[in-house]
Amino acid sequence: AVIGRYKLSVQRTSSSSSPASLGTFVLLFNPWSAGDDVFMPNKAECEEYVLEEFGIIFGGNKDHINSFGWNFGQFQGDILNICLSMLDRSLNYRQDPVTDVSHRNDPKYLGRVLSAMVNANDDQGVLLGNWSGNYEGGKSPSSWTGSGEILQNWKESGFKPVRYGQCWVFAAVLTTVLRCLGIPTRTVTNFSSAHDADGNLRVDEFYDASGNHLEMGTDSIWNFHVWNESWFSRSDLGPSYSGWQVLDATPQEESGGIYQCGPTSRTAVKEGEVELDFDCPFVFAEVNADCMYWNYDPAAAKKTLIFSKSTVIGQFISTKAVGRDDRVDITNDYKYEEGSTKERDIFKKARKKLGLEDKFDPTAPTPQEIDQKPDISGKFKVAGPLEVGKDLKLILVLANLQSDAKTVHVNMTAWSTLYTRRPVHEIWKDSISLTLSPKEEKQFPIKISYSEYQQQLTRDNMIQVTGLCHVEGGLQVLVQRDIILDNPAIDIQVLDEAKVNKEVNVEVVFTNPIHTEVKDCVLQVEGNDLLRGILEINIPPLKASEKSSIKFKLIPSETGPKHLLVNFSCDKFADIKTFKMVNV
């Protein structure tokens, strides 16, 4: 049956009077029912992926995975009405309402339509994406703590796109909408995620002679990317492709002329069946693309391959565990073990199906270039705490792999970046020249002080450090590390036993860890069934090392485990998040 709002009326057979209205009801998908397209046999999974209003989303990078809580809030207030009105605002409905409504019994169709409606591109959808680092005129993507505020804002503004979203915000809102409609859904984070814009299953990155990461071409590798998986059958592809389907509401590439993505069968991705609907080549590349690093000389307009890697992309693919707050790794559900012959065979199969094996690609490196072996190796090691407010200490380790001496010139840069690894501000640069004796290893300490990076850091707290090593008479070597700096911690204490309709005192404690005053401090608190709406508390400036204790009251309205989410910001630290489970 088509989901949505139905009118119910009764007609007496013996009477000729008009039917009496009994009111309306809303029909949703039913994952507990064996005949439903979204049937999920495991009850604990139904609880988590349909009924659970709290979630954990993973971010950071492959070397440093962090997580934060999110309030999906799919059963709060007006959310169901907003989700239904979203269907009536889609391009499909506007173009052909009768056909659109007749397809609303199909989770494949609704997943695809809603992946387009959650972003504002094409259809005045819910959220406007912004990856510039400047979020004036709206809220920064990292400041949201739940979907409710976003969906309410969209409705209250007369359905004008809410400013601003990035990938996890799009994915979290789509989770809310699909769970609300009864489709089991979760957020999934892919680390070192490829954005393959030209569809050749390869991403190219370019660096100049100084080691600066150039914004050339449209390919990119994001530190992480968050999308959705929804659970339903694929009558169009056959039973082996049913189960988890990838949907992605982040506007990256057009599909069928508009910014939508999926549903892509996860099985099809793992088996390299890239010709199957929908958008399989793009999702396959996100977890599997090969990676080429080039040195680009703008004067000669010439590029030289530094090296290529087939094992960088698609790592630690993560989602929240069922019934617990832990991370579960689902990388093996997307691909065979990295570096195995099976994984390489599947990659070749996908290239073949896309017609890439037979076609000459003038932009691809030659086999000779790919097989070249460097004379030296290098890496950046961390030599101190990675915390906002502390100096960043690293060690550049260079080793000569050959049995003759090598002279090396290293150009180093550090840039603040967004989580998409887009460089925003240069922070530091330096260069060194040295000679390495046969098989010798040398270490060079690097210090980037807090005063050097403080003004330049983005809200993502990410810094990319690069060293381009020019080896005399040999190949260039690229040494690179993406660093994430941790914010200071914030602590929540629930001071009383939580009971329905009784006041509960809560204390939030933050200590300023740096040697200067912090100001413009704001605390944002939300939690379903614990408080109405979002509580915002302005806090006076905090001197160096000063501790702030903020107290407020909750009045729980329902029993059971509830989650309190807190977000603290000031002029020196952006969006310090934590959450606390409160048993009412």
pLDDT at 265: 98
pLDDT band at 17 (very low <50, low <70, confident <90, very high): confident
**Whole-angstrom Cα distance, residue 436 to residue 572?**
42
**pTM here?**
0.96
As beta bridge partners, residue 128 has 163
- Weakest mean pLDDT among 115-124, 278-287, 361-370: 361-370
- Weakest mean pLDDT among 9-18, 66-75, 159-168: 9-18
pLDDT band at 363 (very low <50, low <70, confident <90, very high): confident
**Whole-angstrom Cα distance, residue 129 to residue 190?**
19
Mean pLDDT along residues 533-537: 96
- Beta strand segments in 53-168, E: 54-61, 64-71, 127-129, 162-165
CATH of the domain spanning 490-583: 2.60.40.10
pLDDT at 577: 97
Which H or E element spans position 137?
none
Q: Find the farthest-apart pair of alpha carbons in the chain and give their distance in angstroms, rounded.
A: 104
pLDDT at 347: 96
Cis ω for the linkage preceding 49 (within 30 of 0)? no
Residue with tokens 């040295």: 434
Residue 381 in contact with residue 222, Cβ under 8 Å? no
pLDDT at 34: 96
pLDDT at 270: 98
pLDDT at position 307 over 80: yes
Binding-site residues, in ranges, read: 288, 290, 338, 343
Q: 342 exposed, middle or buried (CB, 10 Å; 0-12, 13-18, 19+)?
A: exposed
- Weakest mean pLDDT among 34-38, 301-305, 346-350: 301-305
Counting residues of the chain whose pLDDT is more than 90, the rounded percentage is 93
Q: Is the Cα dihedral 495, 499, 503, 506 positive or negative?
A: positive
pLDDT at 558: 95
pLDDT at position 91 over 80: yes
**Whole-angstrom Cα distance, residue 261 to residue 278?**
7
**Whole-angstrom Cα distance, residue 413 to residue 389?**
20
pLDDT at position 32 over 80: yes
Cis ω for the linkage preceding 278 (within 30 of 0)? yes
- pLDDT tens, position by position, 199-249: 999 999 999 999 999 988 889 999 999 999 999 999 999 999 999 999 999
pLDDT at 369: 84
User: What's the token pair of residue 330?
Assistant: 């689902």
- pLDDT tens, position by position, 390-433: 999 999 999 999 999 999 999 999 999 999 999 999 999 999 99
- pLDDT tens, position by position, 441-471: 999 999 999 999 999 999 999 999 999 999 9
Q: 309 exposed, middle or buried (CB, 10 Å; 0-12, 13-18, 19+)?
A: exposed
Mean pLDDT along residues 335-345: 95
pLDDT at 217: 84
Residue with tokens 């409609």: 181
Mean pLDDT along residues 165-192: 98
pLDDT at 532: 92
Paired sense of beta strands 54-61 and 243-247, if any: unpaired
Q: Do domains 373-484 and 490-583 have the same CATH topology?
A: yes
pLDDT at position 360 over 80: no
pLDDT at 357: 81
**Whole-angstrom Cα distance, residue 466 to residue 210?**
9
**Whole-angstrom Cα distance, residue 471 to residue 6?**
72
In terms of Cα–Cα distance, which of 267, 256, 233 is closest to 115? 256
pLDDT band at 501 (very low <50, low <70, confident <90, very high): very high
CATH class of 373-484: mainly beta
pLDDT at 353: 96
pLDDT at 153: 98
CATH of the domain spanning 54-354: 3.90.260.10
Q: What is the DSSP string of 309-332?
A: ESSSSSEEEEEEPTTSS-EEE-GG
pLDDT at 13: 85
Residue 172 in contact with residue 67, Cβ under 8 Å? no
Binding-site residues for Ca(2+), in ranges, read: 288, 290, 338, 343
pLDDT at 362: 78
pLDDT at 287: 98
All structural domains of the chain with their residue ranges: 54-354, 373-484, 490-583
pLDDT at position 337 over 80: yes
Paired sense of beta strands 127-129 and 162-165, if any: parallel
**Whole-angstrom Cα distance, residue 282 to residue 247?**
12
pLDDT band at 434 (very low <50, low <70, confident <90, very high): very high
Classify each residue of 45-72 as buried b or exposed e, where b means 16 or more C-beta atoms within 10 Å of its C-beta: bbebbbebbbbbbbbbbeebbebbbbbb
pLDDT band at 366 (very low <50, low <70, confident <90, very high): confident
The residues that are catalytic are: 167, 225, 248
How far is the CA of 417 from the CAs of 59, 192, 414, 421, in angstroms? 15, 14, 9, 5
